[in-house]
Amino acid sequence: MEQWMHQIEQWVRQQPVEQLYAALAVLIVTLAFFGILRLLKPSKSTTIVLAGLSGSGKTTLFFQLRDGSPHQGTIASMDPNEGTFVLHSELEKKGKLKPVHLIDVPGHSRLRPKLDEFLPHAAGLIFVVDSLDFLPNCRAAAEYLYDILTKASIVKRKMPILIVCNKTDKVTAHSKEFIRKQLEKEIDKLRTSRNVISSADIANEYTLGVPGEAFTFSQCRNKVTIAEASGLTGEVSQVKQFIRDHVEP
């Protein structure tokens, strides 16, 4: 090693000073160029937002993903539940895993504007639906989902959305296909009744679907998929898969 270093030192001394300065300048410029590129390159978002009506089970899902427990008896907060963590089911996995920044936005209508604070930085959105008590809340869920699907922060970035039919462990829970069809029907009605204008900021809105055709989620500019889960029993595999599809480990 010493001999090798000695040879390099001799070679450097034999080179013209101007040539050494030129080489050093090229090296500095190259390192600076790649450093600037790295700074300018936007980092991938690790944020996933949980949204849905009050009582749909968002907070239970949040705790299940974070702690592996539904935390029964926890009182839902009027403020978002927020945390950055490795999914509980991945804690024993080997290798480096990227933490997820998960935000559970309160479902009360007065608190929904908080959603707009998080969407511009989110990698995806999970919309939670109560599949057990779905029919009485179908219209309200469709209205909330309509507002989300027409937001500029969703459409422009083609943000992926997962509609999670929660509480499917119950015998009387509706299937995800039934819920999908009912939501599509309600959103189709909303397109007419609202004249493609929702209660959100009109300047940020986009139209849904194809004129003259019944609305389906497949017509959305962003990808919308539907899954089943049970935050209470811990069956959240499809939710975890969605998260890892958009927040790489």
At 95, which CATH number? 3.40.50.300
Q: Do 29 and 74 share a domain, yes or no?
A: no
Both 235 and 122 in one domain: the answer is yes
Residues 35, 108 within the same domain:
no
The pTM (predicted TM-score) of the whole model is 0.79
Query: Is 226 in a helix, a strand, or coil?
Result: strand
Evaluate whether 229 touches 238 at the Cβ level (below 8 Å): yes
CB 104 within 8 A of CB 81: yes
C-alpha angle 157/163/169, rounded to 5°? 155
How many Å apart are CA 138 and CA 34, to the nearest integer? 52
User: For residue 2, what are the domain limits?
Assistant: 1-40
122 and 199 part of one domain: yes
Residues 60 and 11 in one domain: no
Nearest partner of 93 among 242, 238, 236, 240, judged by Cα: 240
- Do the Cβ atoms of 57 and 167 come closer than 8 Å? yes
Written as tens digits, the pLDDT of the chain (249 aa) is: 666 766 666 665 666 766 656 666 676 777 665 555 454 445 678 899 999 999 999 999 999 999 998 875 455 566 788 899 989 888 877 777 789 999 999 888 888 888 999 999 899 999 999 999 999 999 999 999 999 999 988 999 899 999 999 999 999 999 999 999 999 999 999 987 765 454 444 444 678 888 889 999 999 999 999 999 999 898 999 999 999 999 876
Identify whether residues 52 and 96 lie together within a single domain. Answer: yes
Residues 150 and 90 in one domain: yes
CA 245/CA 143 separation, integer angstroms: 27
| CA dist., res. 151 & res. 198, Å (int) | 10
